[in-house]
Amino acid sequence: MPAGYDIREFPAFAVTVDIVILSVVDGVLLVLLIERKDKPFKKAWALPGGFKRPDETLDQAARRELREETGVDAPRHISQFGAYGDPKRDPRGNVVTVGYLAVTPEVGAIMAGTDASDARLWPVAQVLDGSVTLAFDHRRILADAVERAAADLESSALATAFLGPTFTLSELQRVYEAVWADDLDTANFRRSLVSSPDASYVEPTGRRAEPGGRGGRPPELFAAGGSWTEDGSPVKRPRRRGRAR
């Protein structure tokens, strides 16, 4: 039998998918974590995920695990961002995992429906700075996912995936500010989305949001337009010459 033909001659790995589900609530970037029930890393916080099955693609595995572990059936965004195969990343050995980034506006509401005791949203900043410890190499995976999300905000319609079908411009701005950990000028932000005559990033609905309780003029509600896919996001990430905020 020629070399390379029989696949059984080669080392076998378990393949998993791990899902980074991001959300922005009150201007804070959050990630959905679950508390592990089994060894290893029992009772530690971890990214939701699970084993790929032989009869499904990686994308299908990611969507299945997302549905099974969080109840999210149709995420507004899901995309692969990296694969991890360090031999020491799982004490059980030989586990290669593929990371997926998922975004959906209703994470908070959906979580209330599932068993909330072993799953909750954590501020990403707390996890990345070590205040919350994650199992396996999930902190590294989370960091990569956030980095990818920050980059995709600038080149796709990812920001709108954090919000519902209609949203206010300040809600959209808070998404950018939370993911980029930077402040944007309100007036310039509005101009970049509304001004252009031929491009349509947001379409006015004519309706207004409910007043926010803290006073202030009720903002107009917009829906996502069609220009995102062609030209990417009109909002540019500030290139600070010195320090960020």
Residue from 8, 37, 88, 214 in contact with DNA (CB under 7 A)? 214
Does 54 interact with DNA (rule: CB under 7 A)?
no
- Closest by alpha carbon to 46, among 55, 31, 33? 33
Residue from 3, 74, 116, 244 in contact with a copy of itself (CB under 8 A)? 3
Does 85 interact with a copy of itself (rule: CB under 8 A)?
yes
CB 32, min distance to a copy of itself, A: 19
Instruction: Determine the 3-state secondary structure of 85 from DSSP.
Output: coil
Q: Which span sits near DNA by CB under 7 A: 5-13, 18-26, 133-141, 233-241?
A: 233-241
Residue from 35, 137, 144, 220 in contact with DNA (CB under 7 A)? 220
Distance from C-alpha of 35 to C-alpha of 135, rounded to nearest angstrom: 9
- Closest by alpha carbon to 20, among 58, 39, 46, 53? 46
Residue from 239, 242, 244, 245 in contact with a copy of itself (CB under 8 A)? 239
Say if residue 91 is preceded by a cis peptide, omega within 30 of 0. Answer: no
Contact pattern for DNA over residues 161 through 200, marking x by CB under 7 A: -------xxx--------------xxxx-xxx-x-x----
Number of residues in contact with DNA under rule CB under 7 A: 27
Contact pattern for a copy of itself over residues 31 through 50, marking x by CB under 8 A: ------xxx-----------
CB 76, min distance to a copy of itself, A: 21
DSSP 8-state symbol, 52 = P
Does 238 interact with DNA (rule: CB under 7 A)?
yes
Q: What is the DSSP string of 127-167?
A: HHTTSS-BSTTHHHHHHHHHHHHHHHHHHSSHHHHTS-SEE
Exposure class string for 71-100: b at 16+ Cβ within 10 A, else e: bbeebbbbbebbebeeeebbeeeebbbbbb
- Residues in CB range of 122: below 8 A, 6 or more apart: 30, 31, 32, 33, 45, 132
Q: Which residues bind DNA (CB under 7 A)?
A: 168-170, 185-188, 190-192, 194, 196, 208, 211-220, 234, 236, 238-239
Q: Which residues bind a copy of itself (CB under 8 A)?
A: 2-7, 10-15, 37-39, 51-58, 61, 80, 82-87, 90, 92-96, 98, 151, 155, 231, 239
